[in-house]
Every structure is written in C-alpha cells, then in structure tokens.
Structure 1
C-alpha cells in the first residue's frame, strides 16, 4: 500500500471518526456532540484533517489540503455553536448541517483512497477519475441530501416544541 507512518496514523484515526459518525447518526439521527460517539467524531476528524495537511503525493497545497481545512472550519463552527448556543433553536440546524456536511466531505477522499488501494494489487478503481468513484460519491451525496432534509425536519419539530428555560 505504501503508506508512511503519518499515513497509517491518519487512516486509523479517520476510520475511527467515520465509524463514530455512523454510530451517532444511527443512534441520534445526527452527529450528536452530547454523545461519546459525537465527541469522538469531532476530535478524531480534527486530528485526521490536520494530519492530512502533512500528506501529499505532490509538492505544495493541493485540493486535499483545501478540503481538510474546510472540514476543520465546519466542525469548529459546529462545535462553537454547540458550546455557546445551548438549547434547541435555529443554531442546531446549522450545527447539524455543518457536522453532516463535514462527514460527507470526509467520505470523498475516503472513497477515492480506499477504491484506489483495495484490494491490494487489484484495486477497485484506477484513480480519482474512475467512474465507480464518481458514482459512489454521487450516491453518498444523495444520501447526504436526504439525511440533511430529515435532520432539518426533525430539528424544526424539536425547536417548535422547545420551551426556553
């Protein structure tokens, strides 16, 4: 596979973040920063995104670095909203969307790298332009849109019934 020590660390941390997000989505219908799975997603995604900045097959800044910085920005704003804007209100809509969008964005390089490397010696895809990668990302994007709509509707119902303390 040809991964550096940083690449191996980044991959393991990233896999844990993705699993945590999936667990949180299944249990809460969103990436819930009140839960252990949500907290693991936040911290491990932060670490994974920052370590991605040290990984590159080409010199200089590349689209992967920009994506990593965007993910850091999204989860950071979501965390600030979570900490500073308590209660079920409009800020939860933004928090939910930013965390879900960061998860979707994290899956783009995950799909590309996984399909381009696995199985070892005979990978599923030949590279980022392989149609199977595009089709898979499109499918994940459709799931993201559907999930975001469902989260928005659920949060709006919660907000409507919330009594401010």
Structure 2
C-alpha cells in the first residue's frame, strides 16, 4: 500500500478502473462532471479511486458507486454499457441503455472527432510525461514557477 492508494489494490472495485480510464480519456474536470451529474466532486473522486476513508475508524474502505450514481457518470463519460457488464454491473448497464435510448442522443461526427482528438492528446501527454521521473517534473515545475514569480518583481 502506498499513501496515494491507501486501499489494497485487490480490494479496489473493478468499476473504479473503468471510470478512471473514461475520465482521463474524456478530458473533463471533476467539477464539470459534478455539475453535469449532480454528484458531489468528493464522491466522484472516491468512485474514481475506488476507496474512501471510513469516518468512524479512519481506515480506507472500498467505494463503489450505486447504480443511481454510476449511470449518470457513465453517460457523461461516454462509457459503453458493455464495459459496465464486463465489471459485473449489468443492472447499471441496462439502466444506461434505457437512458441513452430515451435521450435519443447519437454521437455526431464532430463529437466523435473531438473525442478522438482528446484521446490522442491524452496519449501523447502520457507518452511525453512518462519520459521523465517524478523528481524531474517537480524540478521543472518549480523552476517555471520561480521564474514567473521573479518576473513579477523585476
């Protein structure tokens, strides 16, 4: 266990991985997702990481979104119902299919192109950043921040 993933990875619900991947691919911010789904940003973050801290004993516990939260999240993040079925969330997948059918929304060519562009940028960013160690990135950001701060006082 690390400080960042305070729950044993074997206990993290599989749906968290689906949500996290779709979130990264979407390019949407958590506050924007919260606004579009009426789910608190804190809850969304818990669902993405797959755990939260128990308020009684302050220990990490799995955090799995109930269907009433998973369906709007999946809709906003454009998660295919088959992905939900693959992680044993069949009822939520059925509800998502019903929701999509009722909305009558079909993805336009422009939306599909935008989504593809976001995925391409995310992939490129990941490849570029993976070439550097965490320490190198921190040093670079610190240097940029320091130089901008110095420019304010010159």
Q: TM-score, normalised by structure 2?
A: 0.27
Q: TM-score, normalised by structure 1?
A: 0.26
Whose relative contact order is higher, 1 or 2, with alpha carbons under 8 Å and at least 6 apart?
A: 2
